[in-house]
Amino acid sequence: MKKIGITTTVPVEVLIAAGYQPIDLNNILVSDPNPGRLITIAERAGFPLNCCSWIKGIYGVCMDSGIQDIICVTTGDCSNTIMLMETLKLKGLNAIPFAYPDSPDHYLMQHTLEGLATTLGTTLEAANKVRDELQSARDIVLKLDELTWRENTASGWENHLWLVSASDFNQDFHKYRQELLNLLQDCSQRQPHPTEQLRLAYIGVPSVYARELYPFIEKHGARVVFNEVQRQFAMPEPGQSLAEQYSSYTYPYSIHERLRDIKAELLQRQINGVIHYVQAFCHRGIGDIIFRDAIDLPILTLEGNDDFFLNSHIKTRIEAFLDMLQRSRSFLRKDKYSQALKK
Ligand code: SF4
């Protein structure tokens, strides 16, 4: 299959039906042994220092990987992608715009999906067949999510890694599914994590230092049992059609759509505290004001830029946050907690 890069989660069913193998360029960036070199490629090309590292990294991956076709999400993710797309075109790449509708409306989504299918030379009927094929992989990764928060046998890092990879199924959904089945088997042999551990939620875009963040949290007696955006990549509300599925996917729409999902999960998963990750120079950081107003739980806002590791400043802030949660936990009686979340 011909490779096609994606700048964020898109309706991959349409791409696969058109004979393409989707590749999430963000995943290529963070799994590179030296992601900083990909950001340097963009800065040398003239990207400003105060431009988000994900955008610069994606540009670097495009220049480095030889991928010719890129789906650039211009609405529903990041306005920087519009200029990224123009620079990719300047370099001779086939940058194809894709815009999520302004609101999660089935009719608008159907129209959008039909447009993408026509652009790529396929049909929605073919894409819906691909959706059926992908469903078992999605079911299994959502089972892993359940093992994380309900059975307490999967780690926060495993949860992050497999859910975030659902954007492109690690470029091979058969292999992805089999590896997940092996992991589920492994989880079934484990002792559950201690129930007295603090339970955290992680909201916001995936972090540049995720590889170190989750183990660090677990080393300090807590565990992330809800990864908000990563879980959305696995399409937890598939509905009856592709149009329904991508209308229920909350990330591209208003922060209030996201909050409905977040608040329900905070309650269900009995979360003690929330980490809100914001990327330096990202417009989504402003949403911190809204999250702090709507969520009546302690929130730690962490920022990352192009540092793919936890620096000592961030480590100290996480330690202080976990310490505060431990001390105050005994005061968070369950009935008061439920009331607060319903606010
Ligand atoms: S983190 Fe923010 S600025 Fe960066 S690519 Fe994502 S949406 Fe855009």
Q: What is the mean pLDDT of residues 73-80?
A: 95
d(CA 34, CA 73): 25
Asked if the domains 2-124 and 126-342 are classified in one and the same CATH topology, the answer is yes
For residue 77 and ligand 1, the question of a CB distance below 6 A is answered with yes
Neighbours of 261 (CB within 10 A): 19
Helices marked H in the chain — which ranges? 12-17, 25-31, 35-45, 53-65, 80-90, 106-120, 124-146, 156-164, 173-188, 210-219, 228-233, 242-248, 255-268, 287-294, 312-328, 334-342
pLDDT higher than 70, residue 94: yes
pLDDT higher than 80, residue 181: yes
Question: Which ligand 1 atom is at minimum distance from the Cα of 281?
Answer: 3
Q: Which of 232, 227, 230, 203 is nearest to 290 (CA)?
A: 203
CATH topology of domain 126-342: Rossmann fold (3.40.50)
Q: What confidence score (pLDDT) does residue 195 get?
A: 85
160 CB-near residues (< 8 Å, 6+ apart): 202, 206, 210, 214, 224, 227, 230
Instruction: Please tell me the residue having the least CA distance from ligand 1 atom 4.
Output: 52
Long-range contacts of 300-303, Cβ-Cβ distance < 8 Å, separation of 24 or more: 300/273, 300/274, 300/275, 300/276, 301/275, 301/276, 301/277, 302/207, 302/275, 302/276, 302/277, 302/278, 303/277, 303/278, 303/279
Count the alpha carbons within 13 Å of 180 in the hemisphere toward its beta carbon.
26
pTM of the model: 0.94
Q: What confidence score (pLDDT) does residue 144 get?
A: 98
pLDDT tens digits, one per residue of 254-299: 999 999 999 999 999 999 999 999 999 999 999 999 999 999 999 9
Give the burial class of 57: count Cβ atoms within 10 A of its Cβ; 0-12 exposed, 13-18 middle, 19 or more buried.
buried
For residue 54 and ligand 1, the question of a CB distance below 6 A is answered with yes
Q: What is the mean pLDDT of residues 62-82?
A: 96
Q: What confidence score (pLDDT) does residue 189 get?
A: 97
Please tell me the class of the 2-124 domain. alpha beta
Domain ranges of the chain: 2-124, 126-342
200 in the Ramachandran plot: left (φ > 0), alpha (ψ -120 to 50) or beta? beta
CA distances, 178 to each of 134, 147, 175, 183, 234 (Å): 13, 17, 5, 9, 16
pLDDT higher than 80, residue 190: yes
For residue 113 and ligand 1, the question of a CB distance below 6 A is answered with no
Find the 231 Cα to ligand 1 centroid distance in Å: 18
pLDDT tens digits, one per residue of 308-342: 999 999 999 999 999 999 998 766 555 555 665 66
Instruction: Please tell me the residue having the least CA distance from ligand 1 atom 3.
Output: 282
Find the 226 Cα to ligand 1 centroid distance in Å: 21
The average confidence (pLDDT) of the chain is 95
